[in-house]
Every structure is written in C-alpha cells, then in structure tokens.
Amino acid sequence: MENQIPEDSGTAGGGFWWLLQAISGALLILVLGLHMFAHHFVVEGGLRTYTDVLAYISNPLIFAIEIIFLLVVTIHAMLGLRAIIIDLEPGKGLLQLTNIGLSILGVLILAYGIWLALTLQSLAGN
Amino acid sequence: MEHIQKPVKDTARPRNPLMAWFDVRKRRVGSWAFALNRLTGLGLVVYLLLHLVVLSILLQGEAGWDKFITLARHPLFLLMDVVLIFGILFHGLNGIRVALVGMGIGVRSHKTLFWILMVIALVALVISAVMVFTI
C-alpha cells in the first residue's frame, strides 16, 4: 500500500498544524468515546429525556468535559477543512482567506456551543 | 553522457486534486483510505453542525425534545446513526494510522496496521449497530 498522504498535506505554515491535528484527533478518540458512551450507549432508548439532559449538563464535571469535547472537535474539524483546502493548491491570498474564515467559523461554533450549554444549565436551575 | 529520464505523468488522471480523489483507476487501498478519510471527515464536520442544531431543540422545552426523540427512534434514523458510527470508526482508526505513519512509527508495517484497524472497526461497527437497534 503506497503512502498517499501528500507531503505538504495540511502543513502550510509548518508541521505545528499537522501535530495539533494529530493531538486533537487522539484526544477526540477519548472524549468522543466518553460522549458516545455516556449519552447514547448506557441510556435506555439511546437518548436522554429532557429532564435528564438538563440534569446531566448541570453537573460541573460533565459540563467541563463537554466543553473540552467541543473545543477539541472544533479545532480538529477546522484543521481538517484547512488540510483539504490546502490539497486543492490555493494561492497565498486564498489560503489567508481560508485561515481567517475557518478561524471565525471555529470561534462561532465554540461560542454557540458554550452559550447553548450555559443556557441549558440555567434552564435546569429554574 | 548520462541519460536523464523525465518523470512520466499520468495525463489521464484529473489534474484537479479534488477530482483525483474520485478517480478510481489503478488505485491501491492507500488511495481509497485517503479519499474515504477525507470524505468521512467532511461528513463528520457537517454532522457537528447538525448536532448543534439538533441540541438547540432543547431550548423549545420538553415537548419539542420529546418530538425529536420519537423521530430519532425511527428505523431510518437509526440506520443513519449506524452510518455515522461507521464514519467515526473509519476516520478515527484510519486517523491513528495516518498519525503514526506521519510521525515515522510503523511505516514499514502500515499495510498490516491498516487492516488490523479495519477489522477492529468492523467488529466495533457490528456491536454498535446491534446496540443502536436494541437499546
């Protein structure tokens, strides 16, 4: 089996981004595994009820784990999209635009996810 | 006089790198793995966004969430869950191989590593599919 990974795949700007992609991927295996198990595989019917979700997210430890999960998955996803775009051999200007666009998208995803989790926590308190 | 041979270019292969993903001519398993890794990655990014949208239903209160739970228990929805799990397993396990090989670990045995990881993925997929349809 030949190694089909282009030598410059996702590495524009240095190997740092490739390493971050690999580290976030490794972390994801752990936190996504936890997320899937806790949310779907040990819950009857595969989904928590409304009350259970609110109670679950109100636990500070779970809240922290879910936010870490969101952070790691967003970093991994944005770096993955960047690697694909780099494979399409964009010009310097387009790559810069991609970096800015993906950074904004990543921050928006994170901000919305954190806001949603905090709002659900406050709903649980009512 | 030394004869320098120019590298032979496959002119039939699409020059656009994206189109080349889908060009299956004379492709080895590594190419399929590369293309599938990218496709599952794109699918998972779309799912991440969808997941946030779905979780927003919780803001509508208990009635809205109960409606979603009813929909989520439809067999077609459960089948989509299995497709999602396939994407996660393939992307995650193949990603381990890509990261290891990229760091120079197991370069010589990456073919074997790929097939071992795919067997693990298959076993995990079957177990997960059974759980999805029986829990």
| Structure confidence at residue B76 (pLDDT) | 94
Average pLDDT, chain B: 85
For A73, the closest chain B residue by CA position comes to B48
| Structure confidence at residue A89 (pLDDT) | 82
**Do A22 and B61 count as a contact with CB atoms less than 8 A apart?**
no
- Tell whether ipTM is more than 0.85: no
**Do A5 and B98 count as a contact with CB atoms less than 8 A apart?**
yes
| Structure confidence at residue A2 (pLDDT) | 44
**Do A18 and B56 count as a contact with CB atoms less than 8 A apart?**
no
Residue B95 burial (C-beta neighbours within 10 Å; 0-12, 13-18, 19+)? buried
Give the rounded percent of residues in chain A with a pLDDT score beyond 90.
44
Residue A20 amino acid letter: L
Residue B72 amino acid letter: A
Vertex A42: Cα angle to A38 and A44 (nearest 5): 125
Other CB atoms within 10 A of residue B101 CB: 19
Stretch A6-12: mean pLDDT: 46
pLDDT digits (tens, 9 = 90+) for A52-86: 889 888 989 889 999 999 999 999 999 999 999 98
Q: What is the nearest CA distance from A23 to chain B, expressed in angstroms?
A: 9
Chain B residues close to A84, C-beta within 8 Å: 38, 41-42
Residue B10 in contact with partner chain A when CB distance is under 8 A: no
In chain B, where are the structural domains located? 39-134
Please give the Cα distance from B95 to B33 (Å, whole number). Answer: 10
pLDDT digits (tens, 9 = 90+) for B42-59: 999 999 999 999 999 999
CA A13 to chain centre: 21
pLDDT digits (tens, 9 = 90+) for B72-108: 889 999 999 999 999 999 999 999 999 999 888 988 8
| Residue B2 banded pLDDT, cuts 50, 70, 90 | very low
Please give the Cα distance from B95 to B7 (Å, whole number). Answer: 31
Average pLDDT, chain A: 84
Size of interface A-B (CB pairs under 8 A): 101
| Structure confidence at residue A5 (pLDDT) | 44
**Of A109, A116, A35, A38, residue with least CA distance to A78:** A109
**Do A87 and B95 count as a contact with CB atoms less than 8 A apart?**
no
Chain A residues close to B111, C-beta within 8 Å: 1
CATH tag, A15-125? 1.20.1300
Residue B71 in contact with partner chain A when CB distance is under 8 A: no
**Do B96 and A29 count as a contact with CB atoms less than 8 A apart?**
yes
For residues B73 and A108, which has the higher predicted lDDT (pLDDT)?
Answer: A108
Instruction: Please check the confidence at residue B6 and state whether its pLDDT lies above 90.
Output: no
Cβ(B45)–Cβ(B92) under 8 Å?
no
The tokens for B93 are 């396990």
The tokens for B26 are 């004379």
Instruction: Please check the confidence at residue A13 and state whether its pLDDT lies above 90.
Output: no
